[in-house]
Amino acid sequence: MGTINPELLLAAVIVAATPILLAALGELVVERAGVLNLGVEGMMITGAICGFAVAVNSGSPALGFVAAAAGGAVLALLFALLTQVALANQVASGLALTLFGLGLSSLLGQGYQGIKPPPTPRLDLGPLSDIPFLGRVMFSHDLMVYLALGLVAAVWAMLKYTRAGLILRAVGENHDAAHALGYKVVRVRVLAILFGGACAGLGGAYISLVRVPQWTEGMTSGAGWIALALVVFASWKAGRVLLGAWLFGGVTVLQLNLQAAGFAIPVEFLSMSPYLITILVLVIMARDKSCAPASLGRIFHASQ
Amino acid sequence: MTLTRLLTTAALALGLATGAVAQDKTRVGFIYVGPIGDGGWTYEHDKGRLAVEEHFGDAVETVYQESVPEGADAERAITQMALQGADLIFTTSFGFMEATLAVAEKFPNVKFEHATGYKTAPNVSTYSARFYEGRAVQGHIAGKMTKSNIVGYIASYPIPEVIRGINSAYIHARKVNPDVEFKIIWAYTWFDPAKEADAAQALIEQGADVILQHTDSTAPQAAAEKAGNVVTFGQASDMAEYAPFPRVSSIIDNWAPYYIARTQAVIDGTWETTETWDGIGPGMVGIGEITDAVPTEVKAEALALKEAMAAGEYHPFTGPLNRQDGSVWLAEGEVADDGTLLGMDFYVEGLTGQIPN
Amino acid sequence: MLRLEPRPQPSRLWTLTTPPLAVLITMIAGGALFAALGKDPVEAIATIFWQPLFGEFSFYYRPQLLIKAAPLILIAIGLSLGFRAGIWNIGAEGQYIIGALAGAGVALAFYPYESALIFPLMVLAGALGGWAWAMIPALLKLRFGTNEILVSLMLVYVAEQLLAAMALGLMKNPEGRGFPGSRNLRQYDSAHNAELIAGTGMHWGVAAALIAVILAYILLSRHSLGFHIRLAGQAPRAARFAGVHPGRLVVFCLGTAGALAGLAGMFEVAGPAGQVSIDFNVGYGFTAIIVAFLGRLHPVGIALAGLLMALTYIGGEMAQSTMGLPAAAIQLFQGMLLFFLLAVDLLTNYRIRLRQREVA
């Protein structure tokens, strides 16, 4: 029976967590602005194919990631038009967006099966990578991992310290009051939705360009839904999204590692465990009442 | 209920008649469980369909429907093809078994072919491939190539097909390398690239330097490539984009010869119910090119093994073989019967761990 | 510049005319899509919308519409009650699975004993199973204040794993040569959810959907509980003053939705699907959320929306097999239809006016 090397395990967890981390961060901003976009899966898979196609054709993974963000944002724009201009229900619009994104990505992806994308290089961090333990765990990844971590800090700081963050939160908490104060509720929300789409697109592209890397239809296989879960799990706080992403990624990776190490574990029950643990954590954290943005999911119309 | 059943049959038969009048081409239908762009299982079936089109030209028209869910949806999709005048319908997933039989009962004049199932009817044949022959070749190469003596295996679901593959690979790996050990991960999915990547990663971290997979995506190949010194094999399709290393060979599903033969049988009016279980010999199981990353003598041995199975001189499950608990399964020289193989639910001696459930 | 002005009452005229309008716009946009893919747009649209209803083989497809629509309607009716009250159960898929497992479990436990009591017992078990699964988010919400959206969604994944465990383990057909999946309940007369009138597609699930539509209509328009539900959704504080007990409402709405979803699963497993298998669930629970909104959360609207969704599924399949359209194009087409249906709803609730320059 083998033992599990914690160093390698943690390094694997960080990589496994990156796509859901990116998507969840985007969704966090969207929800903080008071909008519930359930179309994350659709935006992720669209980002995955846009990024893949551009990276393959241009030979540059960096361009691919840019295209992925753009693709996710364009799809999110549809959602913004629907919910912010046409004032449609957000839950239904988000689900429709997922359906649309899955169909669109399969159409766009025809002819991209069985192709290997250009490799995304590991970032050379010089001596940092040689630090025992930490070097392998933290400083041996590609640029996107650090971008995602940087984004966590940026979103956290933006929400907490900047005026833009304040406006965003105000819009999410009470859109009527924010409107009365002269803030452009719809504009703020549209921007947040676009940001969310771009992040989801990046997360999807991380799967198709780095983690897997290949293009196949439906390849995100539910990551978008997990990202949605993460936001609530994190009670709308950027730092906790990071923790949650690691926990989610961690349980999956650990489950596989335990099997590989030869422990006889009931697989189905362990596969359930991330979800059961989420519910458990939710129960524990539910005492924290400062959670959900008060206007979440509600339709705003400025009646002057 | 017989009266109502009769009525339905009559109504459907009527529909069939009107649908079938206007055509003289032979229509062949295919029901797929995944999208044709899955790069694996369905992709290979669709290649078989295209081969039928190419072979027969204008004499045959093919139709297909992809991503068909099991259950009621499958039954409707199959009925639809029968109504529209298909003469022969291939249903290409185990989960379509009950639906295929139900529709076949209503359309006695249409021929049905169900992949990987075990129930037949006067107008329903079954067909499947002896993938375990390919696994034997992989096991042989794996046993020779591993330096850590640890072979990782990404399994999908604990069903006979998968267990057979594990046993076959293990038997032949152990034959050439008595110290070899298999580490098996049950992914509980046929296709989830991210999970497959994680599984491959976990196996590599456990010291595996050869990885076999019974899931369809190339994610494990990419993980192995990143690790640098890990050998892999293509599954379902050739996965040649990862050759010559890490992918050193592959098992390819090759349905084209069978599809062409069965279509020809319908055209000739010689179609009969059969239970086909073909291997390397008739070409249903293909062994992808063994690359130069494999030492010449190992490659020669692997090819010899392949030829022996193709010629029917060697069966991968030939005694003496014991079950995992040490009890005798096959005596010296005894060959496993198809019935046991089809329902295989046990590991052979030497494998560690338990089959889930 | 255009300006939106809310209507004091949703417009009856637009309520009735927007859905056909949306379908029309979708036909145009979808036609353009199909043309871009190199297919005859008119033929494609006709295949999707006309063939299943009035085409050559409509005698087969019309019953199939009912079979496909029934679980969607049954689940959506249950969900709509909660959605009206602001209770977001998006885990109907899980409740559907558990209902099916409970119903099939009863049947398999009695196999091969034949009795007229088995089917009613299965119905009961199916409803109870779905109800119990929905009670988890309900009770957690009441006791700890956890968010029901997330808990119900998480339980979908748990239910899917349970389903796989059952199909591969406890419920595996002992005569199935080791393959996953249970016995075929359609070959077990006492458990078979057969057609009530042959050739019509009417099985017990269709009947249940019809009954649910009627009961929901009565509940919402005639009963005080229906009034409370609507009030809780529109004005939560006023509802509390009116004596609405929010906890009871949560239990009622989630419980009803769960029971109906469980029933849908049970009718499906005992009839059209026939067996418990790893991939038994095909997303009815999620599609039903869309159906509920397309039907404007109104029972009759939901029935029509369910039938429309079923039509696009069945017609879409026909377009795939007869015209060689890729499944992805059909998915995209459905997405478009939903977008347009949601977008034109604007006209029901708002008036579009030209913005007039204010005189300063």
Tell me the backbone φ, ψ of residue B255, rounded to 5 degrees: -90, -10
Mean pLDDT of C170-174: 88
pLDDT, mean of residues A27-38: 93
Nearest to C293 among A92, A105, A233 (CB): A92
**B83: nearest CA in chain C?**
C57
Query: How much is the pLDDT for A213?
Result: 86
Band (pLDDT 50/70/90 cuts) for residue A288 is low
DSSP assigned state of A10: H
Q: What is the mean pLDDT of chain C?
A: 87
Q: What is the pLDDT of residues B140-182, one digit of tens each?
A: 999 999 999 999 999 988 888 899 999 999 999 999 999 999 9
Residues 6+ away with beta carbon under 8 Å from B150:
B180, B181, B183, B206, B207, B208, B209, B210
B5 has a pLDDT exceeding 70: no
**Residues C177, B71: C-beta atoms closer than 8 Å:** no
Reported as a single tens digit per residue, the pLDDT across A205-243 is 999 999 888 888 888 878 898 898 888 778 888 998 999
Query: Which A-chain residues 75-114 have CB contacts (< 8 A) with chain C?
Result: 78, 81-82, 86-89, 91-93, 95-97, 99-107, 110
User: Which residue has better confidence, B317 or C229?
Assistant: B317
Q: How many CB atoms lie within 10 A of CB B323?
A: 15
pLDDT of residue A287: 64
For C326, the closest chain A residue by CA position comes to A107
A93–C144: do the CB atoms touch at under 8 Å? no
- The predicted-structure confidence for C28-66, as pLDDT tens digits, reads as follows 999 999 999 888 999 999 999 988 888 888 888 899 999
Average pLDDT over residues C247-255: 90
Query: Is the pLDDT score of C299 beyond 80?
Result: yes
Mean pLDDT comparison of A71-75, B348-352, C35-39, C196-200, highest-scoring range: A71-75
Six token digits for residue A208: 């198709």
pLDDT surpassing 50 at residue B10: no
- Out of B16-25, C110-119, C350-359, pick the least confident: B16-25
Alpha carbon distance B210, B298 (integer Å): 15
CATH number of this structure's domain C40-324: 1.10.3470
Q: Is pLDDT at B4 greater than 50 in this prediction?
A: no
List the Cα angle B162/B168/B171 in 5-degree steps: 140
Q: Which residues of B252-278 are buried (b: 16+ CB within 10 A; e: fewer)?
A: bbbbbebbbebbbbbbeeebeeeebeb
Q: Which of B18, B80, B342 best tests the C interface by mutation, with the highest count of C CBs <10 A?
A: B80
The closest CB to that of C293, out of A91, A107, A301, belongs to: A91
Contact flag C199-B11 (C-beta cutoff 8 Å) = yes
Tell me whether residues A103 and C146 touch, CB distance under 8 A.
Answer: no
Q: Which long-range contacts (CB under 8 A, 24 or more apart) does C120-123 make?
A: C122/C191, C122/C266, C122/C270, C123/C204, C123/C263, C123/C266
CB–CB of C327 and B70 under 8 A? no
What pLDDT digit, counting tens, does each position of A140-180 carry? 788 899 999 999 999 999 999 999 999 999 999 888 889 98
CB contact at 8 A, C86 and C240: no
Q: Report the percentage of chain A scoring pLDDT > 90.
A: 43
Residue B95 touches partner A, C-beta closer than 8 Å = no
Task: Please tell me the distance in Å from B250's CA to the nearest CA on chain A.
Answer: 14
Please write the tens of the pLDDT for every residue from B280-312.
Answer: 988 899 999 999 999 999 999 999 999 999 999
CA distance B355 to chain C (A): 11
To the nearest whole percent, how much of chain C has pLDDT over 90? 38
Residue B15 confidence (pLDDT): 47
Question: Taking CB atoms and an 8 Å cutoff, what residues of chain C touch A92?
Answer: 289-290, 292-294, 338, 342
User: In the prediction, which pLDDT does B7 show?
Assistant: 43
Cβ–Cβ below 8 Å for B76 and C322: no
CB contact under 8 A, A262 and B185: no
Closest Cα in chain B, distance from residue C351 (Å): 42
Of B18, B80, B357, the CB nearest to C321: B80
Q: Assess whether pLDDT exceeds 60 at residue B16.
A: no
**Chain C contact for A273 (CB, 8 A cutoff):** no
User: What number of CA atoms fall less than 13 Å from residue B251's CA on the CB side?
Assistant: 28
Q: Sheet of B285-288: strands edge to edge?
A: B181-186, B150-155, B210-213, B231-234, B247-253, B285-288
Q: Report the alpha-carbon distance of residue A61 to residue B196 in Å, rounded.
A: 22
Placement of tokens 């019953």 in the chain: C63
User: If you average pLDDT over residues B121-142, what whole number do you get?
Assistant: 94
Tell whether the model's pLDDT for residue A295 goes beyond 70: yes
**pLDDT band (50, 70, 90) for residue A289:** low
C238 vs B325, C55, C243, CA distance in Å? 70, 52, 9
Report the share of chain C in percent with pLDDT over 70. Answer: 98
| CB < 8 Å to C316, chain A | none
| Contact flag B222-A213 (C-beta cutoff 8 Å) | yes
pLDDT at B9: 52
**For the segment A49-61, what is each residue's pLDDT rounded down to a tens digit?**
999 999 999 999 9
- Which residues of chain A does B206 touch, with a Cβ-Cβ cutoff of 8 Å? 2, 4, 257, 260-261
CA distance A84 to chain C (A): 10
Contact by Cβ (8 Å): C45, C30: yes
User: What are chain C's partners, defined as 3 or more CB pairs within 8 angstroms?
Assistant: A, B
CB contact under 8 A, A103 and C153: no
pLDDT digits (tens, 9 = 90+) for A121-144: 877 777 777 777 777 777 778 889
Closest approach of B227 to chain A, Cα-based (Å): 12
Task: Please tell me the number of Cα atoms within 13 Å of B22 on its side-chain side.
Answer: 5
Residues 6+ apart with CB under 8 A from B214: B153, B154, B155, B156, B162, B165, B166, B235
CATH number corresponding to A6-285? 1.10.3470
Closest CB from A91, A107, A272 relative to C161 = A272
Q: Determine whether the interchain pair A282/C147 forms a contact, defined as Cβ–Cβ distance below 8 Å.
A: yes
Distance, CA of A60 to CA of A118 (rounded, Å): 7
Q: What pLDDT, on a 0 to 100 scale, did the predictor assign at position B203?
A: 92
Average pLDDT over residues A86-107: 88
Instruction: Tell me which range, A234-243, B209-218, B255-264, is most confidently predicted by mean pLDDT.
Output: B255-264
For residue C320, the model assigns a pLDDT of 87
- Residue C303, pLDDT above cutoff 60: yes
Instruction: Delimit the domains of chain A by residue range.
Output: 6-285
Structure tokens at A255: 């489950």
Q: How confident is the model at residue B19 (pLDDT cuts 50, 70, 90)?
A: very low
**Mean pLDDT for all residues in chain B:** 88
Cα–Cα distance list, A198 to A103, B351, C339 (Å): 19, 47, 20
| Stretch (H or E) spanning B212 | strand B210-213
Please indicate if any CB of chain B lies within 8 Å of the CB of C321.
Answer: yes
Per-residue CA distances from B302 to B173, B288, B305 (Å) = 11, 12, 5
Q: Would you call C90 and A233 a contact, using CB atoms and an 8 Å cutoff?
A: no
pLDDT at position C355: 63
- Tell whether the model's pLDDT for residue B238 goes beyond 80: yes
